[in-house]
């Protein structure tokens, strides 16, 4: 019975994989024809100086089979030089729930829908092609990849480094492709992909920066090991976060505290994602995921922003009783927020339920705390002689921040006001009517008893 159950499960997995392959093949039947910029540097002017950069329009036909171009793919727009038309063989991506199905490019595919927008779409994916020169790296965690010299015959070819960005930053891909000298038929040798080009996180939460890589198993470079480096950059400053020598299974000494990789997934699936165990303000910036093969390098850049909304508090709390003509000083403090962008304002909501703005008050400058978050305050001078506050209401401090809008409120009571409200006036009229009726009743009672005594006295005299 147990064997039957196992066979049944394996059959389901195999059937699932089969249908997924069919779906993928159907969805990637029309891979994109990408309009790219071919960027290269002009020859130097001598003295080791680099010349200006030139860019030309180019066309890149993505295909899943090297023999799949048809007559339509041979049509070249008039504004593109036929010498800048290239073909690259992409790789099918299988998104499977089981590792048994994960036999193709585990990172992504050049046939992804974000690189193939509907015809007539205004938005276009971004694509740039650069000539690439294979060379060994001098980094200590990469140098081991080129310890043994490889035959230069394989490296003597036409190499391109290409960068792609899908619509709405859904996908970022960097590829190293190779074509025999004189050919325009390129094959992907190394691809690095990220599905999280822009990431936002709350303070203190774990963060996953997605990065995956794929290597062509038929290339002699793919079996010689790899290296992964994550580098952080912000406002011109940079540092290495994690560096890993996959050939020697060794981490570099520059590893940052709280940053790690999934080493099992790295070797088995090419999962080079960076894990930050606890997000801090200083983590905001650009992260570059670089993957090295012998003589090759491909990298993608991701942006991480730590967004933490402010906590608001109003002082004094509770608010003191206010008297008409008095000026109250109310302080609202916003603390623990990041990034800097913050708009503070005040509003008053009366007993009638209507709200009215009171302005931003006197706003102080930003102050940075030990954990990198910021604080800021605003002071409101509430002149009760200039504002019709009635019997009081609710004072609210509002903070608008990229992390969300926050509010803090306090109740304001006004006593000794000079102008009675409608409700008070009606109550006073009612009291007056009651008093008038009571006086009339007492007056009538006394007058009636007085007349009775007079009548009795008159009868006695008679």
What's the CA gap between 333 and 397, in Å, rounded? 9
Please say if the pLDDT value at position 391 is more than 80: no
pLDDT tens digits, one per residue of 14-72:
444 444 444 444 444 468 889 999 999 876 555 555 568 899 999 998 887 665 555 44
In this prediction, residues 188-204 reach a mean pLDDT of 94
To the nearest whole number, what is the mean pLDDT of the chain? 81
pLDDT, residue 213, reads 95
Residue of 417, 415, 314, 413 lying closest to 361 (CA atoms): 314
In this prediction, residues 156-184 reach a mean pLDDT of 92
Indicate the pLDDT class of residue 459, thresholds 50, 70 and 90: low
Q: Are 221 and 154 in contact (CB under 8 A)?
A: yes
pLDDT, residue 406, reads 96
More confident residue, 441 or 196: 196
pLDDT tens digits, one per residue of 242-300:
999 999 999 987 778 889 999 999 999 999 999 999 999 999 999 999 999 999 999 99
Query: In the 3-class helix/strand/coil scheme, how is the chain assigned residue by residue?
Result: CHHHHHHHHHHHHHHHHHHHHHHHHHHCCCCCEEEEEEEEECCCCECCECCCEEEEEEEEEEECCCCCCCCHHHCCCCCCCHHHEEEEECCCCCCCCCHHHCCCCCCCCCCCHHHCCCCCCCCCCEEEEEECCCCCCCCCCCHHHHCCCCCHHHHCCEEEEEEEECHHHCCEEEEEEEECCCCCEEEEEEEEEECCCEEEECCCCCEEECCEEEECCCCCCCCCCCEEEEEEEECCEEEEEEEEECCCCEECCCCCCCEEECHHHHHHHCECCEEECCCCHHHCEEEEEEEEECCEEEEEEEEEEECECCEEEEECCCCCCECCCCEEEEEEEEEEEECCCCEEEEEEEECCCCEEEEECCEECCCEECCCCCEEEEEEEEEECCCCCCCCEEEEEEEEEECCEEEEEEEEEEECCCCCCCHHHHHHHHHHHHHHHHHHHHHHHHHHHHHHHHHHHHHHHHC
| Residue 373: partners with Cβ closer than 8 Å, 6 or more residues away | 203, 281, 308, 335, 336, 337, 338
Please say if the pLDDT value at position 386 is more than 60: yes
pLDDT, residue 50, reads 58
Indicate the pLDDT class of residue 107, thresholds 50, 70 and 90: very low
For the chain, domains (ranges, CATH) are 2-41+54-306 (2.60.40.10), 311-413 (2.60.40.10)
Q: Within its chain, how far is the Cα of 410 from the centroid?
A: 33
pLDDT, residue 453, reads 54
pLDDT, residue 270, reads 93
Please say if the pLDDT value at position 96 is more than 50: no
Please say if the pLDDT value at position 335 is more than 90: yes
User: Considering only 85-99, 162-176, 361-375, which range has the smallest mean pLDDT?
Assistant: 85-99
Q: Which residues of 251-266 are buried (b: 16+ CB within 10 A; e: fewer)?
A: ebeebeeebbbeeeeb
pLDDT, residue 422, reads 64
Q: Omega of the bond prior to 339 within 30 degrees of 0, cis?
A: yes
């Amino acid at each position: 019975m147990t064997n039957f159950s196992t066979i049944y499960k394996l059959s389901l997995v195999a059937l699932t994989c089969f249908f997924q392959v069919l779906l993928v093949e159907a969805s990637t039947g029309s891979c994109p024809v990408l309009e790219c910029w071919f960027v290269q540097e002009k020859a130097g002017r001598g003295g080791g100086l680099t010349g200006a950069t030139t860019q030309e329009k180019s066309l890149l036909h993505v295909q899943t089979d090297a023999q799949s171009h048809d007559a339509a793919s041979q049509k070249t727009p008039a504004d593109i030089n036929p010498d800048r038309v290239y073909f690259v063989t992409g790789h099918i991506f299988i998104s499977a729930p089981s590792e048994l199905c994960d036999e193709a490019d585990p990172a992504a595919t050049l046939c992804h829908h974000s690189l193939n927008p509907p015809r007539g779409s205004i938005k276009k994916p971004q694509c740039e092609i650069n000539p690439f020169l294979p060379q060994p790296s001098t980094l200590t965690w990469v140098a081991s990849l080129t310890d043994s010299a490889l035959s230069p015959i394989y490296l003597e070819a036409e190499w391109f480094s290409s960068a792609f960005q899908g619509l709405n930053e859904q996908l970022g891909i960097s590829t190293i492709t190779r074509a025999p000298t004189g050919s325009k038929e390129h094959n992907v040798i190394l691809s690095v992909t990220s599905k999280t080009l822009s990431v936002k996180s709350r303070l203190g939460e774990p963060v996953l920066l997605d990065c995956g890589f794929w290597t062509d198993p038929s290339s002699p470079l793919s079996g010689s090991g790899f290296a992964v480096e994550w580098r952080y950059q912000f406002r011109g400053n940079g540092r290495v976060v994690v560096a890993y020598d996959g050939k020697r299974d060794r981490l570099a000494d520059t590893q940052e505290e709280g940053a790690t990789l999934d080493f099992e997934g790295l070797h088995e699936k090419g999962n080079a994602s960076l894990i930050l165990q606890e997000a801090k303000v200083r983590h905001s910036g650009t992260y570059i995921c670089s993957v090295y093969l012998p003589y090759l390098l491909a990298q993608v850049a991701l942006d991480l922003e730590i967004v933490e909304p402010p906590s608001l508090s109003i002082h004094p709390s509770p608010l003191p009783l206010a008297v008409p003509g008095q000026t109250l000083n109310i302080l609202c403090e916003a603390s623990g927020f990041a990034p800097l962008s913050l708009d503070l304002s005040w509003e008053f909501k009366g007993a009638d339920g209507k709200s009215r703005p009171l302005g931003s008050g006197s706003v102080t400058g930003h102050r940075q705390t030990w954990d990198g978050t910021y604080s800021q305050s605003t002071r409101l001078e509430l002149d009760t002689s200039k504002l019709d506050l009635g019997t009081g209401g609710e004072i609210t401090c509002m903070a608008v921040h990229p992390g969300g809008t926050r509010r803090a409120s306090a109740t304001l009571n006004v006593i000794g006001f000079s102008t009675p409200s409608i409700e008070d006036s009606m109550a006073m009229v009612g009291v007056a009517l009651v008093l008038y009726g009571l006086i009339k009743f007492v007056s009538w009672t006394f007058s009636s008893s007085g007349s009775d005594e007079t009548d009795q006295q008159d009868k006695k005299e008679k």
